[in-house]
Amino acid sequence: MKVKALISVSDKTGIVEFAKELEKKNIEIISTGGTYKKLKEEGVNAIEISELTGFPECLDGRVKTLHPKVHAGILAMRSNENHMKQLQDLNIDTIDFVVVNLYPFKQTILKDTVTREECVENIDIGGPTMLRSAAKNYQDVAVITDPKDYSIILDELNNNGKVSIDTKFYLMQKVFEHTANYDAMICKYIKEQRNDESFPNKLTLTYEKVQDMRYGENPHQRGALYKEIGKCIGSLTTAKQLNGKELSFNNINDTNGALELLKEFDEPTVVACKHGNPCGVGSSDNIYTAWKKAYEADKVSIFGGIVVSNREITKEMAEEMKEIFLEVIVAPSFAPEALELLLTKKNLRVLELPDITVKQPENAYDIKKINGGMIVQTIDSKLLDDYEVVTNRKPTDKELEDMLFTWKIVKYVKSNGIALGKDKQSIGIGPGQVNRIWAAKQSIEHSKELINDTIVEGCVMASDAFFPFADCVEAAHSAGITAIIQPGGSVRDQESIDKCNEYGIAMIFTKMRHFRH
């Protein structure tokens, strides 16, 4: 019985060369549609699938490989005498190689203008069926979905005259990765088309690997970066790296946090981040002043940190940045002179992200792995719907501006989190404390240590969640803080309100909490 290979691919990378090598080994090529046409044009002596099945392709190509002569030839177990006798009685030949990759569903849905009908028509039916049949019978059939594996097959055929069982088992794994990814993309597309925002009873997500990493959060951990299927506009996964070493696990995690905070601002803003927390934030009517504010907010923590900007990096900024040890700089663009300066630091990761201000969709998932499962929520896409002044004194326009500025910052501070702000500059940040008064004291102490004692006077305080006691108000008053923004909602809210009234501090409730664990 002659060895046969069935080839039907949408991604035709390397397929002609691979088919010709198979032909040299006296393997008969069977093919379909556009693949058959391509192979014939390139001189491969392929036969069309209809010659094998005795049945023409029909329904505009929707039915061509869904036939017993195809699937019996793939699924028959060569070691099973009864299977082989049935093939003989039915005049069916075995198929020993299945080379299939699927209709370009991903490429179709990513088109700027595409109809639902076009997307549905690019859902492959026969391809996944052949792949699953071949994978199930991996002991006897080599199934190839990835052009990168052609060389593995040819090397084994050249060196051993056959494909090893270990390689076939590896190829089986790749088949189910391929079809699972494909089905998950289809499911996601349909869910989006239906505007279905519910959490499904069975959640299947798919991502594509961008790169392996040298290690994970620590050197003894393995790590990799994966990208969502889609355009991912404004995402770090689409940034163009212009300089520096490969991004590490921690670089990516910290930079992503800095970018998400940056997206809250429309005016020229710079965010400096360290270990997932903002350490300096500045806004102004020009990007250089914003940079100066962010840097001067915490000249200590920015060492080895991340800097992101929502405007082009200027030469003046680059001259100062290159004198500091930074891990990553991200901006929508870089002035030529600025880039030239930054490129002199060979280890500095410089990333260009033109759509840096584009936010995630509101129904995007935020996912955390736990032992034995995961917890899923929608991203914290809102800042506040409205606010209520709860004290006798209303904030001044200047205080309100600073309160809303600082509220954006504290949203991205690890809980329990407190942030101080003044003149569109972060003044002190207290992140990740196990009680709120420690976070408040830390933010005040840091502001005095990092800037000076007097600048805290007249600044505002933002808290990511309510005050359980009035002690944070006491600390704010002692530091000279004049206004507070917090969610409210504690059973002891009135105590904090009364204390603010006693000290003449203005306080507003946002009625929206921003825990960040």
* 321 phi, psi to nearest 5 deg: -65, -35
Bridge partners (DSSP) of residue 99 are 7, 144
The three-state secondary structure class of 186 is: helix
- Cα–Cα distance, 298 to 345 (Å, whole number): 22
User: Which residue shows structure tokens 């004291």?
Assistant: 441
In terms of Cα–Cα distance, which of 237, 447, 272 is closest to 355? 237
Q: Which 8-state DSSP code applies to residue 427?
A: E
**Segments in 25-137 forming alpha helices (H):** 33-41, 49-53, 68-75, 81-90, 105-109, 116-121, 126-136
Q: Is 408 a catalytic residue?
A: no
Q: How far is CA 331 from CA 107, 226, 352, 414, 434, in A?
A: 28, 22, 5, 24, 34
Q: Which 8-state DSSP code applies to residue 247?
A: P
Give the pair of three-digit tokens for residue 466: 């309510």
**Integer Rg of the chain from CA:** 30
Bridge partners (DSSP) of residue 413 are none
User: Which residue shows structure tokens 């060389």?
Assistant: 151
User: Which residue shows structure tokens 């290979």?
Assistant: 5
Residue type, 334: F
- Cα–Cα distance, 331 to 314 (Å, whole number): 10
Catalytic residue among 20, 40, 136, 191: 136
- Cα–Cα distance, 418 to 416 (Å, whole number): 7
Catalytic residue among 188, 191, 227, 275: 275
Q: Is 275 a catalytic residue?
A: yes
Q: Which residues carry out catalysis?
A: 136, 275
